[in-house]
Structure 1
Amino acid sequence: MKTYLIPLLAFASLTAPSVASPNFTWPNGAGAAVCLTYDDSLPSQLDIAYPQLQAAGLKGTFFLQAKADTMENRLDEWREVARSGHELASHSLVHPCRQGLPGRGWVSDELNLDHYTVERVRSELQLTNTLLNAIDGQTARTFAYPCGDTAVANGSKSFLPVTAELYLASRGVSSQLDSMQELNFNNTPAFDLSTHNLDESIAYLEDCYTKGTVAIFLNHGVGGDYLVTDPQLHQDLLEYLVSNRDRFWVDTFKNVMTHTHDEFTRLGWDKEH
């Protein structure tokens, strides 16, 4: 009888159903996820960031401002970006921001979010989604708040309920998470690559790895335009991620947030923060 015990136990271990992890997990055994995001439909993103991503075999998310110049004169290139597996996401129709906040003297009266209504925000976001659908054929969409602003009427009325309704997730500008359970799908954190060096960026990545969270990099211009990320820094970051593929799952914001939604559901976590 005893001679059969070990084989039977081995067989049982092979045939027993796997038990789902009680903790948040990332695909392929990765310790953290990474999203590389780019705002404002800028020429340098097509000229530099996109080719660097392609060469590295990494996917990014481009938050497009629908009325930007490249949406008219380089539209075929954005279609190619989408066909290559990158995400085209919404960054609004005209990039309105609150003029009344400190340092916002550059915001024109026409694009002053303080003068918007929630209904106007909804209308412009729905129009932007329609335009993006005409480019890539996608319906599920993510969003990034222009200037990180989430309210109209001099800050008295939030439009967060609108973005929660229209988008799978929306990227904000807040600081890093201590755990994935803290994530607010409607206003996720971001890390501005243009204001940090490589050592600081790697430290951010490793902190996310230690905590098992998601690193969301924010970029505007890459090697040109404004709020510029140095192209060599961008390249070095991509190389670090490629050399650590087994540790970091790099994918589009949409794909990472879709997986995160699924994990929240599996674990019974509250998605409404």
Structure 2
Amino acid sequence: MIFRKTLLFLFCCLSLSVAEAQHWNQKKCAVVLTYDDALDVHLDNVIPVLDSLHLKGTFYLTAGARAFTQRLPEWKKVAANQHELANHTLFHPCDGSLPGRNFVSEYDLSKYSMRRLIDELRMTNTVLEAIDGKKERTFAYPCGDAKLNGVSYLDQMKGEFVAARGVHNELVPFAPRDLYTIGCYSGNGQTGQELIDLVKKAMQSNSLIVFLFHGVGGGHGLNVSNEAHRQLAQFLKQHEKEIWTTTFLEAAQHLKTAGAVKK
């Protein structure tokens, strides 16, 4: 009797493990690589690595950024190669009223009207559609600021975005509470092995992990080395039978299709 109960318990555990693994496109976990602010290094350092390994990334583009406006043909090639071009606002407004925000100047979110912010978000969507021809888009909150004067501004625009990424650390379960507050892990000085160890945690817990990168090999105060980024990308490629490396849009669509979103 005890033997039979033990076998039943092991069978249930195995079945659960297999079922959990099915969540992420038949893989143990999902990984999304995101890159913020439309930086030159994304085109110069990131894209060559991802393309060489046939991996896809999500680029949260600030449409008014110089590295976007002056390199439009290159961003069009990025989109044509099935990377995601995503909305990171027109001018990257951050709330300058918060502590430690001395870097905020003319684009101070606390001084925006709701009308201005929504207009800029929609204009960015229009610009991106002109580049890649797509209607569906995801969003990332600049500086992680999700509210304008205490009001969640994306609540008025959820019909125009599939999902949104914040900046808080989180391994995302298969049934997230809200697709518009998905967390991530920010790259800032980690070694390649430290980034890989985060992926291993996602594999062990059958989770989605989203990485947020700014500088890669320079280009921003928040930075990881080219070598660390390359090591992470190579690990993802080497373990592609266990890891689903996808875009933020595809991961969100997958969760919606599977009926996994709690609200």
In the superposition, the TM-score normalised over structure 1's length comes to 0.85
In the alignment, which residue of structure 2 is the partner of 1:26?
24
Please point out which of 175, 185, 190 is paired with 2:184.
Answer: 190
Could you tell me the percent identity over the aligned residues?
36
Q: What is aligned with 1:18?
A: none
Equivalent AA in structure 2 for residue 73 of structure 1: Q
Give the one of 196, 202, 214 matched to 2:196: 202
On the 8 A contact 1:163/1:170 being kept in 2, the answer is no
**Larger Rg belongs to:** 1
**Of 137, 141, 154, which residue of structure 2 is paired with 1:160?**
154
Which amino acid in the other structure matches residue 212 of structure 2? L
Q: CA deviation at 1:160?
A: 3.1
Partner of 2:101: 104
Matched, 1:252 2:250: no
| Amino acid corresponding to residue 25 of structure 1 in structure 2 | H
Mean Cα deviation higher: 219-228 or 172-181: 172-181
- Which deviates the most, 174-183 or 203-212? 174-183
1:218 equivalent to 2:218? Answer no
CA distance in 1, matches of 2:172, 2:68: 37
Give the whole-Å Cα distance in 2 for the aligned partners of 1:260 and 1:213: 12
Q: Report deviation, 1:165.
A: 2.7
Aligned to 1:14: none
Retained in 2: the 8 A contact 1:118–1:158? no
Q: How does 1:53-64 map to 2 (within 5 A)?
A: 53-64=50-61
Q: What is the TM-score with the length of structure 2 in the denominator? A: 0.88
**Once the 2 structures are TM-superposed, how far is the Cα of residue 70 of structure 1 from its aligned partner?**
1.9
Counterpart CA distance in 2 for 1:61 and 1:182 is 20
For the 8 Å contact 1:33–1:248, the answer to whether it is kept is yes
Task: Give the drift of 1:251.
Answer: 1.0
* SS of structure 2 residue aligned to 1:111: coil
Equivalent of 1:142 in 138, 143, 157? 138
User: 2: CA distance between counterparts of 1:76 and 1:247?
Assistant: 35
What CA RMSD, in Å, does the superposition of the two structures yield over aligned residues? Answer: 1.6
Q: In 1, distance between residues paired with 2:99 and 2:53? A: 39
Matches of 2:240 and 2:229, distance apart in 1: 17
Distance 2:19 2:100 in 1: 45
The runs of at least 4 aligned residues of structure 1 exceeding 6 Å deviation read: none
Residue type at the aligned position of 1:252: T
CA displacement, residues 11-33 of structure 1 (integer Å, 9 cap, x when unaligned): xxxxxxxxxx9756111x20100
Residue from 160, 163, 169 that aligns with 1:175: 169
Q: Partner of 1:101: helix, strand, or coil?
A: coil
Q: What are structure 2's unaligned runs of at least 5 residues?
A: 1-17
Deviations 1:210-251 (A, max 9, x none): 221111011112112112221000000011111111110001
Distance across 2 between alignment mates of 1:183 and 1:57: 31
Q: Distance in 1 between matches of 2:131 and 2:246?
A: 20
